[in-house]
Amino acid sequence: MTDPMFARAAGSFVYPRLPRTVGLAIIEETRTWDLDKLAAPSSTEHPDAAPIATGTRVDPTVITEARDRVRRVAVERGYPKPLRRGRE
């Protein structure tokens, strides 16, 4: 069965992207932050974000749901413990 969240996201949707320079500046700014501080600002919006192609913009709730699912799976898998080498 297809997951409804991903079914809504499939197709000709465009997703917002940050310009490379903005993304690199965020990486540099947050390089020394601890995990709690890093998790707090993980927003799904940014004033410089823009789609890179023409098409229908994906609904912001799809992006939020995807972020929340990634976080949930990461915690279930033991994040933020160090990763082990090789496959599990």
pLDDT at 6: 55
Say how many residues make up the chain: 88
H helices present in 3-87, as ranges:
4-9, 20-30, 35-39, 60-76
Beta strands in 1-88 (DSSP E): 13-14, 16-17, 50-51, 56-57
Pairing mode, strands 56-57 and 13-14: parallel
* Residue type at position 37: K
- Name the average pLDDT for the chain: 79
For the cut 50, the answer to whether the pLDDT of residue 36 exceeds it is yes
pLDDT at 15: 80
pLDDT at 28: 93
Residue holding tokens 């709690």? 36
Label residue 60 by pLDDT band (50, 70, 90): confident
Residue holding tokens 């080498």? 85
